[in-house]
Amino acid sequence: MNTQKNLDRLARLCVQFGLGLRPGQELVLTADIGAIDLVRRITREAYAAGASNVLALYADDESTLARYTHGSETALETAPGWLYDAMAGAFRNGAARLAIAGNTPGLLAGQDPAKVARANKAMSSAARPMLEAITSGATNWNIVPFVTEGWARQVFPDLAPDAAVERLWGHVFAALRLDRDDPVAAWRENFAELERRRAHLQGLALDALHFEGGGTDLTVGLARGHKWVGGAQTLEDGTTYAPNLPTEEIFTMPDRARTEGRAVFTKPAVIGGSIVEGLVVTFEAGRAVSIEAEKGGDVAREYFTTDEGASFLGEVALVPESSPIARSGVLYFNTLFDENAACHIAFGNAYAMNLSEGADPEEAGMNKSNIHMDCMIGSPAIAVTGIGPDGARHPIMADGEFVI
């Protein structure tokens, strides 16, 4: 495997296909400082594509930790809102947004969960205007992964660090179709398939989805006027972009008040740097009324009560078990991958793009929150049934695979 060459191909894929960067457009990217090699390749690629400016904002694990190890109580509740506001303004003025996702999972595992929750709350509240600018369709955006040693060691704890990094890059490049002769053609093909199923589900105009199997028995009521979304997005000016790379999901908006039953989560969730395993949640009238976990239950309960909306759902998504990521059999401890390996629901904020034009958010039951946390419920045991407004039952997935 030629990692250098593949990183260049990743930079090109992300600028030209993922972002669809326009000549003259500004690019604002965020990355962990460990991903600087990819940042530099993307910067060159973006300038070559005609970017007017490329600005990289870096996060650093050690500085993140210093807030907990050396910071005051005030520091835990402070976030640089002025910076997020300024970024929101830049996106509204047309700057493209790229996030390189390469954090160290479990970084904050040794910290007090209550402190982690307070810091997360301050951060997500400050970042909210920025999140809204991005998700409201103001600009083209893209998230791509970067393999850090911390991530690789967690995924492959039995390998030497170098070998773990190389093995994980191998899976990441495969998931990104960078092992194909023509990655962009491969993505176009995948997006066509996503679009076919998306249109089919939209045509069914369902009232709810029922997930059953492996201990899960969950009915997710869908928002009135819900819109199924997946694969590529298009801005008003015609710019086409792919928010997530890799992406295998089609997803829509739940009615916040109409989720009922029990969800057994099939993969760990990484919440503010802590890992939550064996999560089981019971819903009544949309609210998570019982949150239990084998590990990290306190972190989950804190996080899902960050604000009122954090206990309700903002997204429901379908992913077949035959997706390349699921087939790799690897547990990635990383939402960008694990959410594309399995059907999932998300606690917290709903995406405006999942509501049809003219639909009333209030009436539809659109959820609002400062958080958005995807949690996986898919497995080879899961069956998904669509329930029409008339009560008719439409088989959607069986044994974890689409039947549409």
HEC profile of 2-17: CHHHHHHHHHHHHHHH
Q: Is 374 in the site for Zn ion (CB under 5 A)?
A: yes
Binding test (CB under 5 A) with Zn ion, winner from 271, 346, 366, 384: 346
Which span (26-34, 146-154, 343-351, 386-394) binds Zn ion, by CB under 5 A?
A: 343-351
In angstroms, what is the minimal distance from the CB of 339 to a second copy? 29
Query: Considering the complex, what minimum distance in angstroms separates the CB of residue 176 from a second copy?
Result: 23
Contacts of residue 86, Cβ cutoff 8 Å, sequence gap at least 6: none
Looking at the Cβ atoms of 222 and 346, the one nearer to Zn ion is 346
For Zn ion, give the closer residue by CB, 56 or 346: 346
- Which residue number, 23 or 203, has a Cβ lying nearer to a second copy? 23
Tell me the closest approach of the beta carbon of residue 92 to a second copy, in angstroms.
10
Binding part of the chain for Zn ion, among 104-112, 162-170, 190-198, 370-378 by CB under 5 A, reads 370-378
**Cβ of residue 85: shortest distance to a second copy, in angstroms?**
7
Q: Which CB sits closer to Zn ion, 93 or 136?
A: 136
> Choosing among Zn ion, a second copy, none, which partner's interface includes residue 11 (Cβ < 5 to 8 Å by kind)?
none
Which of 127, 152, 279, 317: binder of Zn ion (CB under 5 A)? 317
Among 31-39, 114-122, 242-250, 293-301, which window interacts with Zn ion (CB under 5 A)? Answer: 242-250
Closest CB 126 distance from a second copy, rounded Å: 10
- Report what 48 binds from a second copy, Zn ion, none; CB cut-off 5-8 Å by kind: a second copy
Q: Residue 116's closest CA among 273, 324, 260?
A: 273
- Nearest CA among 1, 4, 29, 2 for reference residue 15: 29
Distance CA 219, CA 286 (A): 10
Q: Does 248 bind Zn ion (CB under 5 A)?
A: no
Please identify, using beta-carbon distances, which residue of 53 and 290 lies nearer to a second copy.
53
d(CA 71, CA 351): 34
Residues of this chain that interact with a second copy (CB under 8 A) are 23-24, 26, 28, 33, 36, 39-40, 43-45, 47-48, 50-58, 60, 62-63, 66-67, 69-72, 74-75, 78-80, 82-83, 85-86, 89-90, 93
